[in-house]
């Protein structure tokens, strides 16, 4: 016998469980690990609780710290110096749990009682599963040195110090050293201000706990605010810096093993005073983005897409992310899970509080959405760094807390996300339910009759915000197929 519409001999399939939060009739529902069900929905962006990574006071007067993510151990490592501890260099390991981060005991990486200069750079070597810390040793004629760190649990240990530049290196100005990992050659590349105050690059490989360096390549130009990143699509190291002429420029280098070759020695992307420069690489859009403060435009914060070509670079349109001005100590990290760049800085227009912005790359342009304060008005215009922890899908923001005696502190930031995964969709709510109420969910094969505006014959997908669309979301989750404007056959 042929039926028009639903076969009356087919019994709808339902699942009954406790509602975790309110659920609305006709909305997609997920099942949680404990068997409860919840309405599919976005999880808003937010920050976790602050944690102190070093209880010594006046970290802000100590120097410029940096951080890296150890993906093998799922740890954040922060490297810095402390004035109250004889200007020695320390590293500390951060452990992420949910939306909170906690730290182990700081471990000294500089030799004995030696003092180090202000800027400390750090890179995570994925091939070796180690971090490499670069610094300038004041008590050893200001030679530039490196040490390899091995994370174990909540602590870190170090191998022997290796000097790689004995000319007397000027690591003493604002962020004058930056390190990044070149995954194509499995080396760590340092861009730094040398003894002549000009830009140099050098690469090292890691074997065990020993770094081995190639030759230094001098790029030139009186350099400040140096930061670098590995542009994977171009297979190039991109270094952004401020020249003494107050122009922002990009230098591009290639790498073969530990041999560096500089191709572009300084193509300008900004003029009129360009400070607080940082870079991030968007691996989905395959673009490097430079962020900076433009003094000639009321010190507003800008972002600009950089395209590294075969013979030169192209720049997109400069886009403001902080229009109130005085955006300082800018740092950026790419959030792989969200496909967005997290930009952090202090804002003089907001009582020098720490601010978070989210950038989205499209072609050769970047746009920004949202502005979220962290730590109230306790962060002044000094020292903020962002590092993305991929396993935890959160960005660690480390900074100086001026509301807590200038102690080194950190929080975790989570971008807008969703409770929907590729596997936890279960069906459509048969009715509206309150939190903790027994709820009935139409599962595979059931016909839900609580819809509106559907097109018969069209497949509908669950979106990150819990709505339905004919276009697949990310992840792609099929909700079902419409058989009328108000009816949806539930599918997996």
DSSP 441-471: EE-TT-EE----S--TT-EEEE-TTS-EESS
Residue 119 near residue 144 (C-beta atoms within 8 A) = no
pTM to 2 decimal places: 0.87
Of 64-78, 325-339, 410-424, highest mean pLDDT? 64-78
- The pLDDT value given to residue 267: 84
Q: What is the helix (H) or strand (E) element at residue 18, kind and residue range? A: strand 14-18
d(CA 380, CA 406): 10
Mean pLDDT of the 161-168 span? 95
Q: Which is more confident, 244 or 48?
A: 48
- The pLDDT value given to residue 3: 41
Residue 7 has pLDDT above 60, yes or no: no
Q: What is the helix (H) or strand (E) element at residue 68, kind and residue range? A: strand 66-70
β-strand pairing of 365-374 with 353-362: antiparallel
- The pLDDT value given to residue 303: 97
β-strand pairing of 75-82 with 66-70: antiparallel
| Both tokens assigned to 368 | 């920004």
- Outline where DSSP puts E strands in 313-446: 313-315, 319-322, 327-335, 340-347, 353-362, 365-374, 384-389, 394-401, 407-414, 417-418, 425-429, 438-442
- The pLDDT value given to residue 4: 46
- The pLDDT value given to residue 382: 58
What Rg do the C-alpha atoms of the chain give, in angstroms?
Answer: 26
Structure confidence at residue 245 as a pLDDT band (50, 70, 90): low
Query: What are 337's strand-pairing partners?
Result: none
d(CA 369, CA 382): 24
Structure confidence at residue 379 as a pLDDT band (50, 70, 90): low
Task: Read off the pLDDT of residues 121-139 as tens digits, 9 standing for 90 and up.
Answer: 999 999 999 999 999 999 9
d(CA 387, CA 279): 12
Exposure on the CB side of residue 146, measured as CA atoms within 13 A: 29
Query: What are 249's strand-pairing partners?
Result: 241, 268
Q: Please name which of 219, 368, 253 lies closest in space to residue 305, comparing C-alpha atoms.
A: 368
Residue 439 near residue 16 (C-beta atoms within 8 A) = yes
| Both tokens assigned to 87 | 């200007």
| Both tokens assigned to 476 | 């792609």
């Amino acid at each position: 016998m042929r039926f028009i519409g639903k076969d009356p001999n087919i019994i709808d399939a339902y699942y009954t469980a406790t509602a975790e939060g309110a659920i609305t009739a006709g909305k997609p529902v997920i099942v949680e690990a404990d068997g409860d069900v919840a309405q599919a929905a976005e999880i808003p962006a937010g920050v976790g609780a602050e944690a102190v990574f070093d209880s010594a006071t006046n970290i802000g007067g100590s120097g410029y710290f940096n951080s890296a993510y150890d993906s093998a151990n799922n740890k954040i490592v922060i490297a810095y110096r402390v004035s109250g501890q004889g200007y020695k260099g320390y590293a500390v390991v951060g452990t992420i749990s949910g939306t909170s981060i906690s730290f182990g005991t700081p471990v000294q990486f500089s030799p004995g009682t030696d003092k180090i200069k202000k800027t400390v750079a750090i890179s995570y070597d994925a091939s070796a599963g180690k971090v490499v810390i670069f610094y300038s040793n004041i008590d050893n004629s200001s030679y530039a040195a490196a040490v390899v760190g091995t994370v174990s649990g909540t602590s870190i240990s170090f191998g022997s110090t290796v000097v790689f530049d004995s000319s007397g290196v000027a690591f003493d100005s604002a962020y004058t050293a930056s390190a990044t990992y070149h995954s194509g050659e499995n080396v760590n590349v340092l861009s730094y201000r040398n003894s002549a105050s000009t830009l140099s690059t050098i690469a090292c490989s890691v074997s065990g706990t020993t770094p081995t360096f190639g030759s230094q390549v001098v790029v030139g130009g009186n350099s400040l605010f140096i930061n670098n990143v590995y542009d994977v699509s171009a297979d190039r190291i991109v270094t952004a810096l401020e020249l003494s002429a107050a122009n922002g420029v990009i230098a591009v280098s290639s790498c073969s093993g530990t041999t560096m070759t500089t191709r572009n020695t300084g193509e300008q992307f900004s003029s009129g005073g360009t400070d607080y420069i940082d870079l991030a690489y968007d691996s989905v859009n395959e673009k490097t983005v430079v962020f900076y403060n433009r003094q000639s435009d009321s010190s507003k914060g800008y972002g600009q897409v950089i395209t590294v070509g075969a013979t030169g670079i192209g720049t997109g349109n400069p886009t403001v992310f902080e229009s109130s001005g005085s955006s300082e100590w800018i740092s950026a990290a790419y959030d792989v899970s969200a496909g967005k760049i997290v930009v952090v800085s202090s804002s003089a227009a907001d009582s020098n509080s720490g601010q978070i912005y989210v950038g989205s790359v499209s072609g050769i342009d970047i746009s920004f959405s949202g502005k979220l304060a962290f730590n109230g008005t306790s962060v002044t215009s000094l020292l903020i760094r962002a590092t993305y922890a991929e396993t935890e899908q959160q960005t660690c923001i480390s900074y100086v807390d001026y509301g807590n005696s200038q102690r080194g502190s950190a929080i975790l930031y989570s971008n807008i996300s969703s409770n929907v995964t590729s596997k936890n969709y279960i069906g459509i709510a048969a009715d509206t339910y309150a939190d903790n109420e027994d709820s009935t969910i139409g599962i595979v094969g059931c016909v839900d009759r609580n819809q509106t505006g559907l097109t018969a014959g069209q497949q509908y997908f669950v979106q990150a915000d819990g709505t339905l669309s004919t276009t697949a979301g990310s992840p792609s989750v099929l909700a079902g197929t419409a058989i009328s404007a108000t009816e949806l056959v539930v599918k997996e």
